[in-house]
């Protein structure tokens, strides 16, 4: 998920804004962005939808 931060910033979202928009915890976004955890399939789908991209674009 190395593109998550790049896509988030391009959209102009802070981590809390993306968390609210995607319906997930801010901590989850942080852990994915720094490589501490991998996003589950459902989380990837939520993040992609919130960012207006396909889940495959998060790779």
pLDDT tens over the chain, length 59 residues: 579 999 999 999 999 999 999 999 999 999 999 999 999 999 999 999 999 999 999 98
pLDDT for residue 39: 93
What confidence score (pLDDT) does residue 8 get?
97
Question: Can you give the residue ranges of every domain in the chain?
Answer: 4-52
Instruction: Assign 3-class secondary structure to 1-58.
Output: CCCHHHHHHHHCCCHHHHHHHHCCCHHHHHHHHCCCCCCCHHHHHHHHHHHCCCHHHH
Would the pTM count as exceeding 0.75? Answer: yes
Q: Which CATH number fits domain 4-52: 1.10.287.980, 3.20.20.70, 1.10.287.1260, 1.10.260.40?
A: 1.10.260.40
């Amino acid at each position: 998920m190395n593109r998550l931060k790049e896509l988030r910033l391009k959209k102009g979202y802070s981590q809390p804004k993306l968390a609210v928009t995607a319906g997930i915890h801010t901590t989850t976004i942080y852990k994915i962005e720094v490589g501490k955890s991998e996003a589950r399939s459902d989380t990837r789908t939520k993040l992609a939808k919130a960012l207006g991209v396909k889940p495959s674009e998060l790779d």
